[in-house]
Amino acid sequence: MARDGHHPYPRSARLNQILREVISEELMKLSDIDDRLGIITVTGVETAPDMRFAMVYLDSLSAEVKEVLDERRAQIQGSVNAQTRMKRTPKLTFVADPAIVSGSAVERVLRGQTLHDDE
């Protein structure tokens, strides 16, 4: 932290990092309880400017995992509330990370082209 009381990066970036850590820990605990979750990685969190909503990006998101996360949203938000000092806990929305989805699509295309090139 800088001596003049200012942080070296914006409040929203700090909040996003804290939320990512808290949510990751909670998902690890939940995966021990609920086998449907499996291994999920939180790749990032993006909080709305008013801090009322947060988009949680995951490495993958099947329909079954989405259902579990929707069922457990209140519990995860409660954990965020208990571990952070925020006026309001943002409403969490879980989505697949578009960068990973795009990367996977590109990889499939490249693998498909490679298979055709070998023939």
| pLDDT single digits (tens) 5-53 | 565 667 788 889 999 999 999 999 999 998 888 888 999 999 998 889 9
b or e along 56-89 (b: 16 or more beta carbons within 10 Å of the residue's beta carbon)?
bbbeebeeebeebbeebeeebbebbeeeeeeeeb
Residue 103 located in a structural domain: yes
Residue 70 counted as domain residue: yes
Q: What is the CATH number of the domain that holds 43?
A: 3.30.300.20
Total structural domains in the chain? Answer: 1
Contacts of 39 (CB under 8 A, 6+ apart): 31
pLDDT over threshold 80, residue 1: no
pTM for the structure as a whole:
0.76
72-89 residue pLDDT tens: 999 999 999 999 888 888
Is residue 51 packed enough to be buried (19+ CB in 10 Å), middle (13-18) or exposed (0-12)? middle
Amino acid at 40: I
Q: Is residue 4 part of a domain?
A: no
Between 113 and 109, residue with greater pLDDT: 109
Residue 58 sits in which domain range? 11-118
Contact, 91 vs 53, CB < 8 A?
yes
